[in-house]
Chains A and B, each alone.
Chain A
Amino acid sequence: MKKNTFYLFIGCIALALLAIFWYSIEVHLPIIIIIAFIIGIILIYLVRRKVTDFIEDERSAKITQMAGMRTFQIFWIVFCAFSIGAVMEILHIPAFPRSFPPERPPEIIPPRLMGYIQLGLLCLMIFLYVGFRIYYARKYGEWETDEE
């Protein structure tokens, strides 16, 4: 398979996933998009192995590796910070309740807010990865030009 055909295939998968995403919102069944996403990614990895004119050398591997590592270094700090906050909400019990019966413990983060936080984290991860990829690609001469 040629590289351009592969990119077209990725585009088709992305469009299909987008459609399935909205459908799962419509029917309010998150399991549909979860399974579809996993299948989509597996399909992309399987088809990628069939691409013949895709040269990945050590420099491009290093760019991917460095971008991934830096993204993870920042992401785990942000993710842990949010997670620690969420755990605190779970464990919090009001001290010395003055009313009787005692007040209910505060609610765990509502699912909708959790969704927003995860959306934010997902966007952050994507932006960080793309940013670092551009940075390292530039550092390792991806867009260098020559007289040839």
Chain B
Amino acid sequence: MPENMENGRPMKNNIKVQRAMRDLTQEDLALAIGVTRQTILAIEKGKYIPSLDLAFKIAHYFGVTVEEIFSYDDTIQTIAMKDHNKTE
């Protein structure tokens, strides 16, 4: 199962957008929430799914809810399932 999937469902996030809206670099965000820049980069690229604690820290930092940052990528899943059904 790819790393950006939780319970077989792909996950997406909009940290990059939130950062851009506030003119923040990955380094700024990383320092603010006490992680490395590589961790922020890995989360943004979907290589790593953060823990609940870190997800809340990120959401609190941006002043939004966790759901506004992290969500299941149902579009990708629907397309993937359609493709899977077609092949069967």
Contact = CB atoms under 8 A, between A and B. Distances in A.
Interface of A: 55, 57-60, 62, 139-142, 144, 146, 148
A60 B26 contact: no
B54 interface: yes
Interface in B23-47: 25-27, 34-36, 38-39, 41-42, 44-45, 47
Interface of B: 3, 25-27, 34-36, 38-39, 41-42, 44-45, 47-48, 50-51, 53-54
A142 B26 contact: no
B26 A144 contact: no
A116 B3 CA distance: 39
A146 B45 CA distance: 9
Nearest to B26: A148
5 smallest beta-carbon distances between A and B, as pairs: A141-B42, A141-B47, A57-B35, A59-B39, A140-B48
